[in-house]
Every structure is written in C-alpha cells, then in structure tokens.
Amino acid sequence: MKAWIFAVLLAAASVSVYSYPNALNDMTPDGKGAQAAEEILEVVQRAAASMEMAPNIQEFNAFVYEKASKFSIDELYESGFLETLPDGSRGLVFIGSNQPGSYALTTGRSGAKPCPGGFTAEFGLKRHETCEYGGPSFSAHMDIRANTLRMSDQTGLALHEGFLKVIDPKNFHELQALRTRRDRHIKMEALMVLKEFYTKFPHGARLIQLYTYPLHSEIVTREFEGQEYTVQNFRVFLKLDAIKKDYPFLSGYLEDFRDLFRSEVIVSNKQGATILKMAFDSQKDIFSLSMLTRQGKVIPFDAKGNPLFDQEVRGVGLKELEFDVDMTLFVNVFGIKFTTENIDSAWRYHREGTKGALEVRLTNIDRTSLFGKAEGKVPDWVRDLAIPKKVDNVLFGFTRLLVNANNGEGSRMVMEWDDSDPENVAFHMRGTTELLDNYYVRFAAAAIKYCFQTDGNTQYDMQRLLTRTLNAIILDMRMYSGDGVRQEALSNAGSVSKDG
C-alpha cells in the first residue's frame, strides 16, 4: 500500500513539471496536439517522398530552369505555359492532392477547392508598358488555399507558448529536481533544457546531435526589479564533416554557400521595444535567435537589454498585435557584394471569432550599395550580362517599385486561417507586388540558378535527409498520441524512484 501511494505521489510530482510533450499536446483544445501534428506531417512526408508531378508542370519547370541564365519576365508572360485567368492576368494554377500513398501535383482552374491535406496555388502576371521607374513592369499576384487539417494560427501560438513555458524560471527548478544522480554535475540551464528535449524527442534529437552544434546556445534565468525571467540565445552550427560522411553531395552543396549571405532581423513593437532578434549567416552559425521570456510569454526589452514586463505578449488568446520587422541583407556573388541596410515591413495579427489573420506590408527598402568586382572562377553568365554603368540606380528603381507597387498600394501579403471546422482548417494566403523587367531581375535569376541549382546526386541526398527527418519527427509525435503524456509521467516517476 505504501509503495503504491509513493508511486502515485511521484507521478503527481512529475506531472507538475511542464515538459515538451505537454506543450505539444496542449496546442489543440482537446489535448491531442501530437496526433494533429502527426497527421499533417504524414501529408508532408508523402509529398516529399512520392510527389507525382504532371508532365506539363515538368515541362514548365524545365523551361524556367533553361531561361534562368537570361531571364525575362516578358518572355515568361508571353510563353505558352501561362493561361488567361479570370482577372485578365496570365498565370498558372497548381493543385496539390493528398492521396493514399502518394501526393499529386497538377494544374487546374482558378477557384478550385483544396481537398483535406491538399492545396491550390494561383500565380498571375499583368503587363504595364510603362511605369514611374521605367518599363515595362508587371503586377504579380499569388493566391494559395490549403486544407491544413487541425493546424491553424491558434495551434502555432499555443505550441510556441508551451515551449516557452518549459524554459520558465519556475519550471527550471522542477527540471533540476527530476535529474538523476549520474547527471547532477550539469549546472548550465541550457544543458538541462537540451537534455529534456533530447529525452522527450529521442528520434529527432539523434539527428540534431549528429548534424548540428546546439550546445553553443545559452539559456539562463535572471532577475530584474525582483522579477525572474529567462534569457534565450539560441544558436545552431552545422557539423559539415558529419554531413559529408552521410550525405557527401549535399555537403559539397552546402560548402558552396560559405560567405554567400548574411542577414539580421529585428522585430520591434509599436512602442519601439525589441521583441526578438534573429540572424542568418552562411559563414558562421547558420541561425541564431535571442529573446526574453517568462510564463510562456515573450518579454520585449529596451536598448540596454532590460525586460519591459508591462509590454509582455502572450500567444494563447491573442486578439491583436502590431509590430515592425527591420532586416539587413548582405549578399556576395563571385566577389560582387550587395548590401542593403534596411528592409522594413509592418505586420499586424488579429483574431475575431473563428478567423485569424496576419497582414504584412513592405514599407521601405534602403538604396543597395555595391562594391567589389567579379573574381575567382567566374561563370559565363556573369561575363555575358552587360553590367550597367549606374547599376545602383537600376537596383534602386526595382526596389522603389516594390515599395510603391500598383499605384501606391505597395507590396503586401495576407495569411488567413478559419477554424470554424476544427478538423479541416481553411488556410488562405494572398499577395500582390509589381516587378520591373530590368537588369536586376536577369542578374538575380541567373545568380539564384547558379547558386541553388542541384544535380541528381545532390537532390537524392536532400530527399534522403528530408525523409529521414520527417520520419524521426513522426516517430516522436507517436510517442505522445493519446495517453502518451500520462505514460511519460509514469516513466519519469519510475526513473526518479530508481536513481534518486
């Protein structure tokens, strides 16, 4: 009897710890988030492993690839691949169909309704002979609709909040209490969180440990004006030697990205406080993220790094949030270096009833500065493209049109979710912009083709790694479907009883 009571008490104690499985299942109101994630991931897995592409789409892709070195929007616009859409523009409608054992990609008519786990994607162009920044220009639009099963903006916000709860200062003490004797020498809170993640998601963790260095991350608790909070500086490095061993062609592809780009992103609220910082760097750590949190909420901070608790943001139940995103971008193409100090956009999230929306509008792009000259082994397309004497003016005209697209309407995008049917969430993304058909478009298209083109061996490596990653994540999701969290709690209780 005493042993039974002791086991129950231990199970109750472990349940009080908020861990990653709790966050996973809490992202849906019925507590079956792992099951919902597994469903959508299986759709993605089918699309990655067995995409059946219609012949006309294969021909279209081959056409775009062939023309990329000397790309012209006008040539694409006049090609026989595009059809006249209901609004008078010329474009294509792609339809993705989730089928048993496979995923089919075909073309169809505008306005088609996606099947569960499927999507429709419309892309269109409308030509203008002249515009303020030269001509011709093309108004471009996209309209994407998808059935995302049980995944919505609400599940995403709930999952994010749940993961932040795990690194809440009060939860750290519980994580420490559950550690066994053999690893009590670990003092860094970052190691405790990583250990918790590795323990709860062993299949995905194995891949992370094999191919990345997440241990450079810092997760510490601090106190300001008597209140505890968590500082998170998350950094990811790639283990290229390990990738080379298992995926040699992919490794060579990644090596070519060295010093190709750097980008920093700062997200700020309307009061001017920083919500988070992100960085992407192809030379050093591939990704980094810095933010302050407590109790599952994001805490904005001032210029000194001090938390502003009165401005904290909670994801669950969020009705409206406006924020700004400022990005700097550096790109190095064969020694020709492009630097844009500020690419600014305004964002607004709002939720009413069963509908949520995220609106994005491009507000400013600074003049891009160019320096350096082509060096090293320069491909033919760089020599063949006659660089204008005032190429910075060409770039500036292109970016100004992006900001002031379509007679001042600007470049914008809206993502909407409707979960009135929680089993079949309707996702809708639409966007508009305007593009100049000038030297910059041709240079960018050729550079993208050269930098991102892959041969059959590299594509095979990519597919193998993607399939392996999805399989690992799905296996981890299956651990916590149904009553998995209760079983996890009992497992933790048994571990503490044995070692502690």
If phi over 0 gives left and psi between -120 and 50 gives alpha, with beta otherwise, what is residue 276?
Answer: beta
Q: Give backbone dihedrals phi and psi of 261, rounded to 5 degrees, phi first.
A: -150, 155
- Angle at CA 70, nearest 5°, toward 68 and 73? 75
Residue 395: Cβ within 10 Å count: 24
Q: Give backbone dihedrals phi and psi of 476, rounded to 5 degrees, phi first.
A: -65, -40
Output the pLDDT for position 454.
Answer: 84
Residue 316: Cβ within 10 Å count: 15
Q: Which residues contact 447 (CB under 8 A, 6 or more apart)?
A: 333
Q: Are 93 and 107 in contact (CB under 8 A)?
A: yes
Q: Where are the alpha helices (DSSP H) in 68-188?
A: 73-78, 153-166, 169-177
Q: How far is CA 182 from CA 19, 179, 332, 488, 498, in A?
A: 21, 8, 48, 20, 12
Residue ranges in the chain whose pLDDT is less than 50? 2, 4-14, 177-178, 180-187, 483-500
Q: Give backbone dihedrals phi and psi of 160, rounded to 5 degrees, phi first.
A: -60, -45
Output the pLDDT for position 389.
Answer: 57
Q: How far is CA 327 from CA 263, 313, 393, 435, in A?
A: 7, 22, 21, 20
Pairing type for strands 320-333 and 261-269 reads antiparallel
Task: Taking the CA atoms of 380, 381, 384 and 388 in sequence, report the sign of the dihedral they define.
Answer: negative
Output the pLDDT for position 487.
Answer: 42
Separation between Cα atoms, residue 280 and residue 189, nearest integer Å: 25
Output the pLDDT for position 391.
Answer: 67
Query: What is the gyration radius of the CA atoms in the chain, in angstroms?
Result: 25
Residue 358: DSSP 8-state:
E
**Element (DSSP H or E) covering residue 218:** strand 218-224
pTM above 0.75, yes or no: yes
Best CA proximity match to 134, nearest among 388, 364, 369: 388
Output the pLDDT for position 396.
Answer: 84
Farthest CA pair distance, the chain? 88
Separation between Cα atoms, residue 146 and residue 119, nearest integer Å: 4
Question: What's the token pair of residue 67?
Answer: 């023309």
Residue type for position 90: R
